[in-house]
């Protein structure tokens, strides 16, 4: 009995998990494999390895990069994600600290307003928000940062507030008595303590904003393409599209994510665990 | 402290609040208003009462059909994702060698965006259907189950992480006590492990429910509703109504309000489930 369960534990289970891992990675390898095949050999035989007839080297990558102007799409995605996440991490922390510490009825009212926005699906505001963005000339990569700050503030204020409520206010009060300005207290005392939550907020928002399609498409999509918009742009009409360029662009879209994931895996996993409340 | 901080509202709250009002609050309130009007531009609106809401159901069958598809998809994917994720979490908390590597692999698809995921799976599913001489747009069944598989591939890793966290917090002595009492592995799972990770189960269930219910990108990229809007879920149907035909924007907004109310009901259920659990403990 003991032996049997040991063998199960040491041989069958790892073997099973290995097979499962291969299945999990297979879709990405399939796309990678097809990205090296000529565009007319992909739809007809997607599971066939490239051979001397179908192999085209990096040609799909060149055509994909040219067709969607991939490097500028990458640039826009990086710009929008970095600045939106930075704005959200900083400004919602300030807001959450103020609302929790002031704690008046009005402050609580604002807090619940932010929390309320978490349950509103994007479709509810997508039309009016994009009209508003046009009206206020926010339809550019800088303006969209403001939209992300506004739309991402609900979850972030919620996460920060939960953490701030759990930290004692003694240190802050001591600093106040010593004559510190509230901004000094925030930046030198409070914000360093918020670091774990700040990482969670940054990870969750970065995952959302980097992959977001609809908001940037509706607001800036006609002039600026982020990576998801660039991928969708390649789709074109069904059947008439360049499958080779699409496969290559999918791989180019996945590479930055994999690199980021492998570099920050610890924080991502922790962020996901801590942010498991979002709905 | 409270008093001296209060003066600094403009510094601490205003930047977030301005963005919040522009990006969320005004669009939300104005959207609510527009759902009762007929309009083509937002400055030229005409009050029509509940007409848009009635038209959402009577113009065509799209909305009701999308609601049916969405409900079915949400239930199927929430069940399958949670069962598989919980199973994997059980296997990955047995102290095996290589656990971290497996965890890394299973979680990775979650980080890939919905549009990219949609095209990856379109390639695979079309490839599998090739032998039958058809593609994913041939039968709504294909698109539906394709989306279920896609959703599982994307969400299992995420839910697995939350379940692993829950399982690792289990006090070992309770399981040991059950073992000494002669509980079978199945009994230990049923009577000890599952009740004790109930908080994680609640979180994961609602996370998968809302994420599946609100799904857009994956649906849009995989089938875009083909064939004949038969695989269009609610979010996609709302998008199609807004941007499909001029003059239907009000109907789209009315559908969006209904969609919001449905999501709000799920959120309210979640709040209640979480609260009642807190009382028990």
Whether the pLDDT of residue A215 is over 50: the answer is yes
Q: Which of A136, A278, A114, A121 is nearest to A219 (CA)?
A: A136
Note the pLDDT of residue A275.
74
Whether the pLDDT of residue B27 is over 50: the answer is yes
pLDDT in tens, B42-72: 778 889 999 999 999 999 999 999 999 999 9
Indicate if B75 and B34 belong to the same structural domain: no
- Establish if B1 touches chain A: CB-CB under 8 angstroms: yes
Whether the pLDDT of residue A237 is over 60: the answer is no
Find where tokens 């199927």 sit. B76
Whether the pLDDT of residue B279 is over 60: the answer is no
pLDDT in tens, A10-51: 788 889 999 999 999 999 999 999 999 998 889 888 999 999
Cis amide linkage into residue B48, ω under 30° from 0: no
Mean pLDDT of A131-150: 96
Mean pLDDT of B38-43: 79
Residue A257: pLDDT band with limits 50, 70, 90: very high
Q: How far is A93 from chain B (nearest CA, A)?
A: 9
Query: How far is it, in rounded angstroms, from Cα A99 to Cα B6?
Result: 9
State which residues form the domain around B32: 2-51
- Establish if A206 touches chain B: CB-CB under 8 angstroms: no
- Chain B, nearest residue to A244 by Cα: B123
Residue B280: pLDDT band with limits 50, 70, 90: very low
Indicate if B25 and B147 belong to the same structural domain: no
User: Partners of A55 in the beta sheet?
Assistant: A37
Note the pLDDT of residue A241.
82
pLDDT in tens, B135-146: 898 999 999 999
Indicate if B39 and B65 belong to the same structural domain: no
- Establish if B197 touches chain A: CB-CB under 8 angstroms: no
- The answer regarding whether domain A69-235 maps to CATH 1.10.10.10 reads no
pLDDT in tens, A100-111: 999 999 999 999
Q: How far is B260 from chain A (nearest CA, A)?
A: 6
CB contact under 8 A, B20 and A172: no
Residue A1: pLDDT band with limits 50, 70, 90: very low
Which of chain B's residues have a Cβ under 8 Å away from the Cβ of A105?
Answer: none
Whether the pLDDT of residue A239 is over 70: the answer is no
Average pLDDT of chain B to the nearest whole number: 92
Average pLDDT of chain A to the nearest whole number: 91
Give the percent of chain A with pLDDT over 70.
95
Note the pLDDT of residue B224.
92
Tokens of B153: 């591939």
**What ranges in chain A are assigned the alpha helix state H?**
2-7, 13-34, 59-68, 70-102, 105-118, 122-135, 143-166, 170-177, 182-184, 191-193, 195-211, 214-220, 227-235, 243-263, 265-274
DSSP string, A138-196: --STTHHHHHHHHHHHHHHHHHHHHHHHHS-SHHHHHHHHTT--HHHIIIIIIHHHTHH
Residue in B23, B101, B162 nearest the CB of A273: B162
Residue A251: pLDDT band with limits 50, 70, 90: very high
Residue A2: pLDDT band with limits 50, 70, 90: low
pLDDT in tens, B79-135: 999 999 999 999 999 888 888 999 999 999 999 999 999 999 999 999 999 988 898
3-state secondary structure of B45: strand
3-state secondary structure of A91: helix
3-state secondary structure of A239: coil
Indicate if B85 and B115 belong to the same structural domain: yes
Q: Which class for A93: exposed (0-12), middle (13-18), buried (19 or more C-beta within 10 A)?
A: buried
- Chain B, nearest residue to A243 by Cα: B123
- Establish if B84 touches chain A: CB-CB under 8 angstroms: no
Which of chain A's residues have a Cβ under 8 Å away from the Cβ of B221?
Answer: 231-232, 235
Greatest mean pLDDT range, A59-68, A80-89, A233-242, B40-49: A80-89
Q: Domain spans of chain A? A: 2-59, 69-235
Mean pLDDT of A67-81: 96
Give the percent of chain B with pLDDT over 90.
69
- Establish if A263 touches chain B: CB-CB under 8 angstroms: no
Q: Are B85 and A272 in contact (CB under 8 A)?
A: no
Query: How far is it, in rounded angstroms, from Cα B172 to Cα A27?
Result: 38
Q: Report the complex ipTM.
A: 0.92
Note the pLDDT of residue A4.
64
Indicate if B80 and B43 belong to the same structural domain: no
Q: Which of A92, A22, A192 is nearest to B12 (CA)?
A: A92
Which of chain A's residues have a Cβ under 8 Å away from the Cβ of B5?
Answer: 98, 101-102, 182
Query: How far is it, in rounded angstroms, from Cα B173 to Cα B161?
Result: 23
Indicate if B146 and B30 belong to the same structural domain: no
Note the pLDDT of residue B281.
39
CB contact under 8 A, B2 and A103: yes
**Number of domains within chain B:** 2
Query: How far is it, in rounded angstroms, from Cα A77 to Cα B113?
Result: 13
Indicate if B157 and B35 belong to the same structural domain: no
- Establish if B105 touches chain A: CB-CB under 8 angstroms: yes
């Amino acid at each position: 009995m003991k032996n049997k369960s040991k063998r199960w534990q040491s041989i069958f289970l790892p073997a099973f998990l290995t097979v499962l891992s291969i299945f999990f990675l297979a879709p990405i390898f399939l796309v990678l494999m097809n990205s090296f095949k000529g565009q007319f050999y992909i739809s007809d035989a997607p599971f066939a390895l490239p051979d001397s007839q179908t192999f085209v080297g990096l040609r799909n990558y060149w055509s994909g990069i040219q067709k969607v102007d991939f490097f500028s799409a990458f640039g826009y995605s990086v710009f929008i994600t970095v600045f939106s996440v930075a704005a959200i991490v900083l400004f919602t922390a300030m807001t959450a600290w103020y609302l929790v510490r002031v704690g008046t009825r009005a402050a609580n009212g604002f807090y619940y307003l932010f929390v309320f926005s978490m349950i509103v699906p994007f479709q509810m505001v997508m039309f009016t928000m994009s009209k508003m963005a046009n009206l206020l000339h926010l339809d550019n990569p800088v303006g969209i940062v403001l939209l992300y700050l506004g739309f991402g503030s609900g979850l972030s204020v919620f996460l920060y507030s939960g953490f701030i409520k759990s930290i004692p206010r003694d240190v802050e009060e001591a600093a106040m008595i010593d004559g510190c300005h509230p901004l000094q207290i925030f930046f030198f005392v409070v914000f360093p303590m918020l670091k774990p939550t700040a990482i969670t907020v940054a990870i969750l928002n970065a995952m959302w904003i980097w992959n977001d399609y609809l908001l940037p498409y509706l607001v800036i999509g006609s002039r600026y393409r982020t990576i998801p918009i660039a991928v969708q742009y390649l789709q074109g009409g069904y059947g008439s599209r360049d499958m080779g360029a699409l496969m290559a662009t999918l791989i180019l879209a996945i590479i930055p994510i994999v690199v980021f994931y492998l570099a920050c895996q610890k924080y991502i996993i922790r962020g996901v665990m801590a942010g498991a409340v979002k709905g | 402290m409270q008093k001296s901080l209060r003066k600094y509202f403009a510094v601490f709250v205003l930047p977030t609040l301005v963005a919040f009002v522009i990006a969320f609050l005004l669009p939300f309130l104005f959207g609510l208003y527009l759902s009762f009007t007929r309009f083509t531009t937002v400055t030229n609106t005409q009050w029509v009462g509940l007409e848009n809401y009635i038209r959402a159901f009577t113009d065509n069958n799209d909305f009701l059909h999308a609601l049916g598809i969405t409900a079915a998809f949400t239930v199927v994917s929430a069940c399958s994702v949670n069962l598989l994720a919980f199973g994997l979490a059980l296997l990955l908390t047995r102290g095996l060698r290589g656990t971290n590597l497996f965890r890394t692999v299973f979680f990775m698809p979650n980080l890939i965006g919905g549009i990219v995921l949609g095209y990856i799976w379109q390639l695979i599913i079309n490839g599998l259907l090739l032998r039958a001489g058809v593609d994913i747009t041939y039968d709504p069944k294909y698109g539906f189950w394709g989306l279920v598989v896609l959703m599982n591939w994307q969400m299992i890793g995420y839910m697995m992480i939350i379940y692993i966290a829950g399982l690792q917090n289990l006090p070992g002595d309770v399981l040991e006590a059950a073992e000494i009492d002669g509980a079978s592995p199945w009994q230990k799972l049923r009577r000890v492990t599952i009740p004790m990770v109930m908080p994680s189960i609640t979180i994961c269930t609602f996370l998968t429910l809302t994420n599946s219910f609100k799904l857009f990108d994956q649906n849009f990229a995989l089938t875009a509703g083909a064939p004949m809007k038969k695989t269009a879920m609610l979010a996609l149907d709302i998008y199609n109504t807004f941007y499909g035909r001029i003059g239907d924007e009000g109907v789209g907004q009315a559908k969006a309000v209904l969609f919001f109310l449905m999501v709000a009901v799920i959120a309210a259920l979640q709040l209640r489930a979480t609260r009642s659990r807190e009382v028990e403990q």
